[in-house]
Structure 1
């Protein structure tokens, strides 16, 4: 029997190989442990000794006891916590109150746009025009009594209320006239040339029919001065042009938005009104007189407009106070959901955005959605929609309570206020005129008992301006953070850079040493043939024996 060559027992090689591997593995782990210890202690000691932050150098100062190191470590931690708390409070204040409002009181009134003045006779059915229509309707078989009921019911289109005419008969009237509701109401209004007999702007007399225009308002068809609302929000390029010194060819308030050169009733608008009580056929109020609406020149006279009334035989003086809200450019850096206002150029297609007109348009859409029609006095932006008629009055009455609720829904809440806006407040007062021998260019030649006179003017030579701007700009906010950081830790931007640099440097060195340890470990391990080949050879020899 052949014998195996004499050699050391196979298990000797196995045992030797495993121990060698263990030693190499242990050496690798010790190397890593050494790196970790140096990582956790070395870089922190280096940073504490060299950082510009106050107090940290005492943590690892040579010769200091453990108690001193722990004490200074706690002091530094408390300083960091205090610093973070102050920064969070500053950020919370900036986030929750990003806008600050400053009040300026010494602003000259001639920098303010003069408001639009819209005048409406309470009589919505002018008798001469109604009699002419009634004559034509009589020839078509309608009685005088039916015509009277029809004309008296038309005023309910302006102020919805119960009507005294059958819907079928009302429809027959409109069909016989063969005109739209809007055209009917315009033809039945008192013409502006009949209502306005004399107009004075800053002491100069003008032809009323040239400086007033017929417009729609929440009071129906009216006559407006200095009115510049249109459907797209576009206004004249000469918006800021002063119109103090008008020549004979100038028409104040027609092409540009006016500004008054001062305050007082002599520096404003004065109008002589011919109310014509004998021509009343259907009135929107239980007295003879006219409504005067004061509003922004670019706003539709509905939401936010101030309205007052002047009776016949009286003179009314409307003193106006202007309040400006001016959004500074710093507001643009604040998100829309926090500043809650629009700049004019943020709305596509509009030169000037109007919050009041936006709300009015939103309510108009709600009325159309609920009643499938729209009152005739809304702007032509809703062209193509059915106009409400007498048969729709009941629906308009039923939704009256839901309109304020709809104005608070998400649909209308998209109509945010303007960042820059002009607000007007009025202080009207009127007195009955008496024949005491007073004369002026406005009153001269008129019977004061049959007339009404309106003066509209600024009551003060200055106005209040509220300037809204960001509480703190981003650079000021950064400087405030830096001040807190310096107060609590005595640090600066370089202190942060030092920390980042040291962490990055230590991380790079650690990775480099780990790679070196792995390389050394691979070089010390014996070949796999010497570690494991002896085991299967021994088992094979034993089976043969």
Structure 2
């Protein structure tokens, strides 16, 4: 029993010793932290902290300085938060460039021309006649009865082809039966007016020649059009698209070398005046583009295209696929129209390469992959998004939309569907952009087609005068002979040129970079408390190295 009491006493002594050691260590750690605190308060460069570390300072004064310090830190944090929001939400500013750009550094605008006359009556197909026949042979339920009056099935196919490019209102109340698939490209090609019959001659850089050497056939939502100075199909479309395969197979156009130009990088230093897309050396009508436009009265169809006859002109960047029905200039018959062009170009500085596309609100060409196009532009992106959305809503796409060979083309029963799909997409884009938008830019949407970081637009000033073809023809024997060959000939003239020899570009650049952000934050911290990076080093030093040395001294 005595031995057991000795053991218990021994254990009690060990426990007491351990408790004493722990208390000593705790007191030692507390004293080391206290010493570090007083040392820091005495030596720090932050204003007001030294008063908190004075041992003889009354507690009331310490509370006063603590309150002042907290109030100042609160005000400083509010201002720094404002600076951060500005840096985060508006890091980019668009301003004018420091110097002007000569017009020969950019391409002449691509010009897409669409005639309102969609087919020749020499095909013995009268759209007005057959459309009225169609309206008169409806059943009570709105379905169409195809009887023996349509002996030639090609006439019905011609009607179907023209319904795709005439006014959508023509099919609003029609309910079509199940129809076989058609190749609308080939069908419209058979009905199209030959290029020389609509565009008899052109003039480019003061040289007159045949329009067939300058214009390239283009399939748009307006049907068959012709484009001057646009990129070739090899450069616009990806090889998996139907457009690429069809153009390469059926349209034997001359390949123009445009590999020395891109909108983002401009022309190569070694390129000359023969490079493509074409460019001009200066302003004025003499080096510009001139084209004569003509049509025959007997070929005009007023049900298909309405009361306005003539041509639609769309000016766009060479790397953009034309969407003529969205933006165009009217060229009526009997007029000479002059279009004076003033370029509007936005470039991007290298300083914002590291920002996200949403932060800078633009895409570089290698940042956004398009399924159907080789080159990213906002217009190409929107067209691709519309094609995908239409396929989802209607199970098919309009014949002119970019697509792959296995995508179904909408027939006439789906015209109202793809027309409605475009409106619905715009509404969805608006709703999504409005929901996620900030003060400075719209939010992320389904398409999310931001502008290209380098973009080029062509602003226009238009003037026109009457073009008296008859009196003009009578003044010259040669012109009169030409005029006499056609019955009901109507003609217009179009001239496109740059207004000035140079223009001022805009440039995206940093508004608040990281250096500006840190400078603003440092200035506010210095203003309110005298805090600097050295103050941060002091704090870290006292909490680590100084504390460790104090421990070793104990």
The unaligned stretches of length 5 or more in structure 2 are 127-147, 238-256, 433-443
Find the counterpart in structure 2 of residue 534 from structure 1: none
Find the counterpart in structure 2 of residue 214 from structure 1: 217
Query: Structure 1 length as normaliser, TM-score?
Result: 0.75
Q: Is the 8 A contact 1:195 1:274 kept in 2?
A: yes
Equivalent residue for 1:162, pick from 155, 162, 170 = 170
* CA distance in structure 1 between the aligned counterparts of 2:259 and 2:543, rounded to whole angstroms: 61
The residue matched to 2:359 in structure 1 has which SS? helix
Find the counterpart in structure 1 of residue 87 from structure 2: 94
* CA distance in structure 2 between the aligned counterparts of 1:202 and 1:113, rounded to whole angstroms: 13
* CA distance in structure 2 between the aligned counterparts of 1:389 and 1:66, rounded to whole angstroms: 88
Number of residues paired by the alignment? 482
After superposition, the Cα gap between the structure-2 partners of 1:395 and 1:97, relative to the gap in structure 1 and judged at 3 Å, is closer
Q: Map 1:243-254 onto structure 2 (within 5 A).
A: none
Instruction: Tell me the CA shift for residue 242 of structure 1.
Output: 9.2
> What are the Cα deviations for residues 285-333 of structure 1, in whole angstroms up to 9, with x where unaligned?
3333111122221111118953022121111122333222222222222
Instruction: Tell me the CA shift for residue 259 of structure 1.
Output: 2.9
Q: Is the 8 A contact 2:397 2:418 kept in 1?
A: no
Q: Does residue 118 in structure 1 map to residue 125 in structure 2?
A: no
The unaligned stretches of length 5 or more in structure 1 are 133-140, 517-545
Find the counterpart in structure 1 of residue 391 from structure 2: 368
After superposition, the Cα gap between the structure-2 partners of 1:347 and 1:166, relative to the gap in structure 1 and judged at 3 Å, is closer
Instruction: Tell me the CA shift for residue 390 of structure 1.
Output: 3.4
The residue matched to 1:260 in structure 2 has which SS? coil
Q: Is the 8 A contact 1:328 1:467 kept in 2?
A: yes
Instruction: Tell me the CA shift for residue 223 of structure 1.
Output: 0.9
Find the counterpart in structure 1 of residue 408 from structure 2: 386
The residue matched to 1:107 in structure 2 has which SS? strand
Equivalent residue for 2:363, pick from 336, 342, 349 = 342
Q: Is the 8 A contact 1:218 1:301 kept in 2?
A: no
After superposition, the Cα gap between the structure-2 partners of 1:511 and 1:351, relative to the gap in structure 1 and judged at 3 Å, is farther
* CA distance in structure 2 between the aligned counterparts of 1:79 and 1:288, rounded to whole angstroms: 73
Equivalent residue for 1:271, pick from 287, 291, 296 = 291
Find the counterpart in structure 1 of residue 193 from structure 2: 190
Q: Is the 8 A contact 2:199 2:292 kept in 1?
A: yes
Find the counterpart in structure 2 of residue 472 from structure 1: 512
> What are the Cα deviations for residues 146-190 of structure 1, in whole angstroms up to 9, with x where unaligned?
87676455322113343599957986xx9xxxx732201012111
* CA distance in structure 2 between the aligned counterparts of 1:412 and 1:67, rounded to whole angstroms: 61
* CA distance in structure 2 between the aligned counterparts of 1:61 and 1:81, rounded to whole angstroms: 24
Q: Once superposed, what is the RMSD of the aligned Cα atoms?
A: 4.1
After superposition, the Cα gap between the structure-2 partners of 1:37 and 1:151, relative to the gap in structure 1 and judged at 3 Å, is closer
Q: Does residue 60 in structure 1 map to residue 53 in structure 2?
A: yes
Find the counterpart in structure 2 of residue 352 from structure 1: 375
Instruction: Tell me the CA shift for residue 219 of structure 1.
Output: 1.0
Q: Is the 8 A contact 1:186 1:221 kept in 2?
A: yes
Q: Is the 8 A contact 1:242 1:258 kept in 2?
A: no
Moved more, 154-163 or 212-221: 154-163
After superposition, the Cα gap between the structure-2 partners of 1:279 and 1:24, relative to the gap in structure 1 and judged at 3 Å, is same
After superposition, the Cα gap between the structure-2 partners of 1:449 and 1:219, relative to the gap in structure 1 and judged at 3 Å, is same
After superposition, the Cα gap between the structure-2 partners of 1:396 and 1:46, relative to the gap in structure 1 and judged at 3 Å, is closer
> What are the Cα deviations for residues 200-245 of structure 1, in whole angstroms up to 9, with x where unaligned?
12322232111111111121111110111647647822214499x9
After superposition, the Cα gap between the structure-2 partners of 1:15 and 1:197, relative to the gap in structure 1 and judged at 3 Å, is closer
After superposition, the Cα gap between the structure-2 partners of 1:170 and 1:50, relative to the gap in structure 1 and judged at 3 Å, is closer
Equivalent residue for 2:496, pick from 451, 456, 459 = 456
Q: Is the 8 A contact 1:150 1:170 kept in 2?
A: no
Question: Rg: which structure is higher?
Answer: 1
Find the counterpart in structure 2 of residue 481 from structure 1: 521
Q: Does residue 416 in structure 1 map to residue 419 in structure 2?
A: no
Moved more, 294-303 or 23-32: 23-32
Find the counterpart in structure 2 of residue 41 from structure 1: 34
Q: Is the 8 A contact 1:226 1:297 kept in 2?
A: yes
* CA distance in structure 1 between the aligned counterparts of 2:284 and 2:530, rounded to whole angstroms: 61
The residue matched to 1:382 in structure 2 has which SS? coil
* CA distance in structure 1 between the aligned counterparts of 2:51 and 2:174, rounded to whole angstroms: 97
* CA distance in structure 2 between the aligned counterparts of 1:394 and 1:306, rounded to whole angstroms: 21
Moved more, 344-353 or 122-131: 344-353
Q: Does residue 287 in structure 1 map to residue 308 in structure 2?
A: yes
Find the counterpart in structure 1 of residue 253 from structure 2: none
Q: Is the 8 A contact 1:317 1:429 kept in 2?
A: yes
After superposition, the Cα gap between the structure-2 partners of 1:452 and 1:388, relative to the gap in structure 1 and judged at 3 Å, is same
* CA distance in structure 1 between the aligned counterparts of 2:227 and 2:234, rounded to whole angstroms: 16
* CA distance in structure 2 between the aligned counterparts of 1:169 and 1:481, rounded to whole angstroms: 69
